[in-house]
Amino acid sequence: DSGVTQTPKHLITATGQRVTLRCSPRSGDLSVYWYQQSLDQGLQFLIQYYNGEERAKGNILERFSAQQFPDLHSELNLSSLELGDSALYFCASSTGTVRPSTDTQYFGPGTRLTVL
Amino acid sequence: AQKVTQAQTEISVVEKEDVTLDCVYETRDTTYYLFWYKQPPSGELVFLIRRNSFDEQNEISGRYSWNFQKSTSSFNFTITASQVVDSAVYFCALSEANTNAGKSTFGDGTTLTVKP
């Protein structure tokens, strides 16, 4: 158990809908990362937050957004969902040093999103 | 731009055999970090090891060992006396330290099947 929790575990929804995925980092971790794992694209970095502020953006679509709240939990919002958004979405957290890229990231169990 | 290549898509071995998973990376940065993660059939990503670019010393942890060679940009992972529980997808990842962002680039993964 990495100490990172994600809810829900599974989500099934229809095209055009909007969903919110939630992540609670390990106790004391300030950085949160979101990744998408799909069959075609593999594991892709989406976005990183550090202590409430956006730190880096990866291959995140404009239909997707995220935020990190004062209690450090994070939410990933996916809107206008398409079939191709079906994937496993991972959240990871790290301690968040001056150079977050040096931190080891610990992953949550993931949320499996199915868009029908 | 950084890139991680895991040329072996799938490997199948019989229990107790040794197996080496290859990882070759590309980066322009002189300071970077390399990681290995395991993704068992249950789906979660499990951190195995982190290595920084300054430390080329090989590491051994039980049946696992890692061979980091900067000259060939490789960070290979060997499992000695493999067991059925080692069956999983293994990902190699690279994080450049020269940014304040925790962007990790993952390889496509190697699926290891250990047969009894």
Between A and B, how many residue pairs show a Cβ–Cβ distance under 8 A? 74
B28 lies within 8 A of chain A by CB? no
pLDDT at A63 over 90: yes
pLDDT at A67 over 70: yes
Tokens of A77: 């919002």
Check residue A40 and give its pLDDT: 81
Check residue A45 and give its pLDDT: 87
Give dist(CA A91, CA A114) in Å, integer: 17
**Chain A interface disruption, residue of B37, B91, B103, B105, most A CBs within 10 A:** B103
Tens of pLDDT, residue by residue over A80-97, are 999 999 999 999 998 876
Distance set, CA A5 to CA A57, B48, B103 (Å): 22, 19, 21
Cβ atoms within 10 Å, residue B40: 13
| Residues linked to residue A74 through DSSP beta bridges, in sequence order | A23, A68
**Chain B interface disruption, residue of A99, A106, A111, A113, most B CBs within 10 A:** A99
- For residues A62 and B116, is the Cβ–Cβ distance under 8 A? no
Distance set, CA A86 to CA A12, A13, A83 (Å): 9, 10, 6
Tens of pLDDT, residue by residue over B56-108, are 878 888 899 999 999 999 999 999 999 999 999 999 999 876 555 557 889 99
User: Is A105–B44 a contact, with Cβ atoms under 8 angstroms apart?
Assistant: no
| Residues linked to residue B90 through DSSP beta bridges, in sequence order | B38, B110
Check residue A97 and give its pLDDT: 64
pLDDT band at B55 (very low <50, low <70, confident <90, very high): confident
User: Is A58–B103 a contact, with Cβ atoms under 8 angstroms apart?
Assistant: yes
pLDDT band at A43 (very low <50, low <70, confident <90, very high): confident
Comparing CA positions, the residue from A38, A36, A23, A46 lying closest to residue A93 is A23
Buried b (16+ CB within 10 A) or exposed e, A21-31: bebbbbeebbb
Tens of pLDDT, residue by residue over A10-42, are 999 999 999 999 999 999 999 999 999 998 878
Which residues touch A8 (CB under 8 Å, ≥6 apart)?
Answer: A21, A111
Higher pLDDT, A16 or A58: A16
pLDDT at B21 over 70: yes
